[in-house]
Chains A and B, each alone.
Chain A
Amino acid sequence: DQQVKQNSPSLSVQEGRISILNCDYTNSMFDYFLWYKKYPAEGPTFLISISSIKDKNEDGRFTVFLNKSAKHLSLHIVPSQPGDSAVYFCAARGFSGNTGKLIFGQGTTLQVKP
């Protein structure tokens, strides 16, 4: 039962253009959504997040959009840079009792070509 899905395993864009990474979820009880970025041989690092009560959050070149009715969120990177090439994971926070935990999607590998 995959509660968080990233249906595109990979994405390739040209430097300077927009990168759009998508994520779908099934559990309407998730209250917080995050994007992590992972380089090879390193652990994931936090990129940007959004609360379920908002529909947009922006941080520099990165913007996350949340559409609760569609249970869909997306990460926009503008402009894309070669250093953005990495695996991007979408994650959602759910609760088991009072304990919150993150549920991750499968990841999307972004390649930004110079």
Chain B
Amino acid sequence: EAGVAQSPRYKIIEKRQSVAFWCNPISGHATLYWYQQILGQGPKLLIQFQNNGVVDDSQLPKDRFSAERLKGVDSTLKIQPAKLEDSAVYLCASSPRGGGGNEQFFGPGTRLTVL
């Protein structure tokens, strides 16, 4: 079974530029998560999708971050414009169902550096 795929693996941009990340979850997984992991901290949930609907985006900075999940499969996370403090690893995870728990499978992440 293929795991969660993410691209790109690394991205370097200057502040005020835009950037987008892509995630392909495990086939058949209904729930998709985007996390932000800042160096020295644990992953922080940004947004959770159930199929193609948003169930939790309470910690998503909506003035600059946006995310969508088309047709309940792939997802993109966009930052526009980026700030220095957005430098982090962005992790995508998926699970067969919602509710958190051990059935979350993580991708390798995208390391973003904002200069």
- B106 interface contact, C-beta 8 A: yes
Name the residue of chain A whose CB is nearest to the CB of B6: A43
- Nearest-neighbour CB distance to chain B for A92, whole angstroms, equals 9
- Nearest-neighbour CB distance to chain B for A51, whole angstroms, equals 10
| Tally of contacts, chain A with chain B, CB under 8 A | 64
Q: Report the stretch among B13-21, B62-70, B72-80, B94-102 that lies at the interface.
A: B94-102
- B91 interface contact, C-beta 8 A: yes
Where chain B touches its partner, the secondary structure class is loop
| B56 in complex: contacting residue of A44, A101, A105, CB < 8 Å | A101
Given the known inter-chain contacts A43-B91, A44-B106, please indicate yes or no for A105 contacting B99, CB distance below 8 A: no
CB of A45 within 8 A of CB of B42, answer: no
- B40 interface contact, C-beta 8 A: yes
- B25 interface contact, C-beta 8 A: no
A32 and B45 CA atoms in complex are apart in Å by 17
| B42 in complex: contacting residue of A4, A93, A101, CB < 8 Å | A4
CB of B4 within 8 A of CB of A49, answer: no
- A85 interface contact, C-beta 8 A: no
A68 and B47 CA atoms in complex are apart in Å by 29
Residues of A within 8 A of B (CB-CB), count:
25
CB of B104 within 8 A of CB of A46, answer: yes
Q: Which residues of A contact B24 (CB under 8 A)?
A: none
| B108 in complex: contacting residue of A4, A42, A101, CB < 8 Å | A42
What are 18 A-to-B residue pairs whose CB atoms are below 8 Å? Answer: A32-B101, A34-B102, A42-B108, A42-B109, A43-B106, A44-B43, A46-B102, A91-B42, A93-B100, A93-B101, A99-B56, A99-B99, A101-B45, A101-B56, A101-B100, A102-B43, A102-B100, A106-B40
Q: Which residues of A contact B87 (CB under 8 A)?
A: none
A45 and B108 CA atoms in complex are apart in Å by 10
